[in-house]
Amino acid sequence: MVRILAMADAGDGLTGTPVPLPDRRVVVSALGVTQIFAWGSTFYLPGVLAPAIARETGWGYDWVVAGASVALLVAGLVSPRVGRFIDSHGGRPVLAISAVLLAAGLAGIGLAPSFPWYLAAWTIAGAGMGAGLYDAAFSTLGNIYGATARSAITVVTLFGGFASTVCWPLSAYLLEYLGWRNACFVYAAIHLAVSLPLHLLALPRGRQKNGSTGHVTSSVHLRPGEHLPFAILASVLTIGAAILSAMGTHLLPLLQARGSDLALAVGLGMIVGPAQVGARVVEMLAGRHYHPVWTMVASATLVAIAPAMLLANVPTVALAIALYGAGNGIGTVARGTLPLAIFGADRYAVFMGRLGLPIMIAMALSPFLTGIALANGGPDWTLAILTALAITNLVLAAALRFWLPAEKP
């Protein structure tokens, strides 16, 4: 049945007639908007709602936050299947289902009468995250636009960079006037009323490959000489995701532990968002002139400098945070564009799904592990660990360049 539906979606694919590519502006804008709410209602949600949930329910704050970690683990587990499905049938059905799953999960969180129910709801939301966050969106763009998807991926990350900027204030407003449960219901409604229609209306039907919806047969296995680059790339992306998740969770506590009061820590933390977006704008304007591996090297360099500056008590804390934000911003772009450049469009969705597994697991576990380091070793020990990880990642990113078969523009 799935195969029949896929063939029906393919339009002229049975005759091999090229089909015009959908308008990038429509597709990218739609995915950009849905990424804002996909990230803002999941990854960034506990940052605002968790204290209120803990107060009302009596569940421990750390247990409340653990819901998002469970969701990230589930997202990682479903990611390989999502990649394979997008490769075979296109991203439209996957992203549409993600909106429904996110809505169901958020509604379940809002209704949760007990902690097991709460975790079960996050599990459903996690499946939606695996089918609807960056990796699925990038795979969909690669499926539609092939090797020319780099600029589209970059623009989608520009939208995504505003997830916290849009949804933290929105979540705070909803929390104050409606309560945390109704806030979850509002986000569920947004996924059904906004994200689901955008995915169904803006994305093309069927499997797209370089402007043709015809069936393309290609090996999704690593070829001779590709195993080491894939392993290095997976390591770079996984370590980068671990640092992102740890810094995103513990940046404010780290700054406070080093002497900043809460207001100053929040003000400094707000630098991250604009720095991310600014760096992504630069990448969008200049990225076509160089291979994405250099974006990854630049990202790893900036991310390595930032915790080292904080560890060394350099007085320009704002600069260190800006460098971290910029490095993380273009690192997200490289996460989508580098696998496309190395392995090509035909295998892109499948490989993005495989890469998503360790990435999501790292994002789920690193806040917990670095939290242990912060509690037992203090900010210096935590920053030393993050600096060591970042330097390791820089070495791996630089090494990756020498294992590429050829540099592609």
Q: Which residues in 275-390 belong to E strands, given as ranges?
A: none
Give residue-wise pLDDT tens across range 129-165: 999 998 899 889 988 888 788 888 888 988 888 887 7
What would the mean pLDDT of 77-91 be, rounded to a whole number? 87
Contacts of 10 (CB under 8 A, 6+ apart): 205, 206, 207, 213, 214, 215
What is the rounded average pLDDT of the residues 81-94? 87
Angle at Cα 19 formed by Cα 18 and Cα 20, nearest 5°? 120
Q: CB of 365 within 8 A of CB of 69?
A: yes
Q: Looking at residue 384, what is its pLDDT?
A: 93
- For residues 114 and 121, give the distance between their C-alpha atoms in angstroms, rounded to a whole number: 11
* Tens-place pLDDT, residues 25-40: 899 999 999 999 999 9
For 367, residues 6+ apart whose C-beta sits below 8 A from its C-beta are: 65, 69, 245, 246, 248, 249, 250
Residue 49: the pLDDT is 86
**Statement: residue 393 has pLDDT above 60:** yes
Residue 403 banded pLDDT, cuts 50, 70, 90: low
pLDDT of 118 > 90? The answer is: yes
33 or 363: which carries more pLDDT confidence? 33
Residues 6+ apart with CB under 8 A from 224: none
pLDDT in tens, 100-117: 999 999 999 999 999 999
Average pLDDT, the chain: 83
The pLDDT confidence band at residue 213, using thresholds 50, 70 and 90, is very low
Greater pLDDT, 269 or 393: 393
The more confidently predicted of residues 213 and 404 is 404
Model pLDDT for residues 196-205, shown as the tens digit of each residue: 999 999 888 8
Model confidence at 8, pLDDT cuts 50, 70, 90, reads: very low
Per-residue pLDDT, 217:
42
User: What average pLDDT does the segment 323-329 reach?
Assistant: 90
Q: Provide the residue ranges of all domains of the chain, joining segments of one domain with +.
A: 2-202, 227-403
Burial 95-108 (b: 16+ CB within 10 A, else e): bbbbbbbbbbbbbb
Comparing 158-162, 215-219, 295-299, the range with the smallest average pLDDT is: 215-219
- CATH number belonging to domain 227-403: 1.20.1250.20
pLDDT of residue 19: 57
| High-pLDDT (> 90) share of the chain, % | 33
For residues 197 and 46, the model is more confident at 197
Rounded Cα distance between 105 and 36, Å, is 17
Count of helix runs (H) and strand runs (E) in the chain:
17, 0
Would you state the pLDDT for residue 207? 60
Q: For residue 372, is pLDDT > 50?
A: yes
Q: Do 118 and 59 contact (CB within 8 A), yes or no? A: yes
- The domain 2-202: what is its CATH number? 1.20.1250.20
| 12 pLDDT above the threshold of 60 | no
Question: What pLDDT, on a 0 to 100 scale, did the predictor assign at position 1?
Answer: 31
Both tokens of 241, joined, read: 């995701």
Instruction: Name which residue leads in pLDDT, 177 or 373.
Output: 177
Residue 179 has a pLDDT of 94
- Mean pLDDT (whole number) for 238-262: 82
